[in-house]
Structure 1
Amino acid sequence: RTGLRGLVDLTPGIRSLQVKFDPTVTSTGSVLGAVLETEAALPAADRLVVPSRTVRLPLSWDDPATRLATERYMHGVRADAPWCPWNIEFIRRMNGLDSVDDVYKTVYDASYLVLGLGDVYLGAPVATPLDPRHRLVTTKYNPARTWTPENAVGIGGAYLCVYGMEGPGGYQFVGRTTQVWNHRFPEGAGGFEPEHPWLLRFFDRISWYPVSAEELLDLRADTAAGRGLVDITEGEFSLAEHLAFLDREADSIGVVRAKMEAARDEERARWEADGELSRGTRLGTAAA
């Protein structure tokens, strides 16, 4: 839209924008000028209203595949990590929740806003709950896992991610879902569109519904065969409305945040007493 010659690609991040251009066609100064001009023409942030679909995805809670990944980590990398043997208990402790059932309820009650795509691999969303009271925070595996099952769902820092493919990783597992990358059907299938193979878009709102591990295997097989359907509802996200919500709920949000932060302080003190911090672990670092 800038009309800038030599523009090759734009790659948005959560707080950044990578601009790729051909230096034989245009200069860095011209690109920077175009970016600043475009930014100046944008409306004030609190007036922004953007397309925002609600995407309901199945979540097999504490899925056997994620349990297996943790067991492999304990056998092959590190058995005495604070997040072992059960990531969900670690998430509970890190956030001062009374039980692991509260972790379950928090994740399923949350609406996760997609702020980035491509974290870890292949269309993987970086999402955070719109309601800060649902914003569970964890540290990452250190060292990282050598294996993560495809479409595992985990939390690292304040972000939730769905792994687009198998590989290493560090987010704390909560479960597993269906495919977020279509690598088999170029014409599109289910919730995928023909023009791109990734399921999710920026500013989508992900919500989860519970399924058993067996049900998930059937859903994954349907998705892989091009028969899977995703419940997607069109909508909008208004920053002004969200800011008004935060203002209305400020007192309650403050109470929950204070409890979560106190729990993380307690966890850090335990790590220090146990010598964990001398290993180079940095509590509160977002996993990648």
Structure 2
Amino acid sequence: MMVEKRGLGRGLSALLGEVEETPVDAGAAGGLRDIPIELIHRNEKQPRWVFPEVEIEELAASIREKGVLQPILVRPAPEMDGHFEIVAGERRWRASQKAGLHVLPALVRELGDAQVLEIGVIENVQRSALNAIEEASAYQQLVEVHGRSAAEVADAVGKSRSHVANLVRLLALPDPVRQYLMAGQITAGHARALLGADDPLALADLVIAKGLSVRDTESLVRKAAGGGVVTPRPASPRPRKDTDTQALEVDLSEALGLTVEVIDRGGIGELRVKYASLEQLDEVCRRLTRA
């Protein structure tokens, strides 16, 4: 049964603490068991999107040598009888597959969608595993979809309200600029400075091309706002898309988790999927082959 909305921190900390402190013993009570790895699936809405391959390889090597030292946290998979959805521990699940494991120790809990997101956010934020856009998107989802206040979210993750608010503001940047941030081409400091620009994408391109610091970026934004000359990015005008094409782009982007562009020329055209890292490309391939 889903827990009613309340202060997040204490209840979730207790649950996460239980997971971290539970020894790997498939015979223990409380829902801990060994589950065939093919019955475990990632949560498509979990806050972390990018898993660096080198990080997974290092963990897989450790698992081959020492095994899985802590169980993952799962819940019964919605609409998939006998299967389970990861709540916390996707990195261990990915590494265990690379290590050739056939079963994975897991703590099974009945959890609602809001609780699953909250646990995912807290686990990843506490371990500094999320990039700024992933973290901002998770905060926004907690507020807009699950009805949490900004104060509740800040308290749950142990951050200030200003930290949460400043990150969420980054989602107002154009998608290419957000992709630059996710790929590490600019920092969150650069991104915050670009929020005040009339054309943040043009300035972001200039920041990357010249390797500007955050302070230089702030000066560049002020200069542009004051009518100073800033070298624009090359223009690439495209014909206006109809409503159906735009809706299709949105649907495909949500399905793949990346920006999808449909370029149609009278029934012949291109389908472009934009990714910012090899990990994102790997995730798209995984989704397509699974489908």
Give the TM-score band, short-chain normalised. Answer: under 0.3
Larger proportion of strand: 1
Give the TM-score, by structure 1 length: 0.25
Larger Rg: 2
Larger proportion of helix: 2
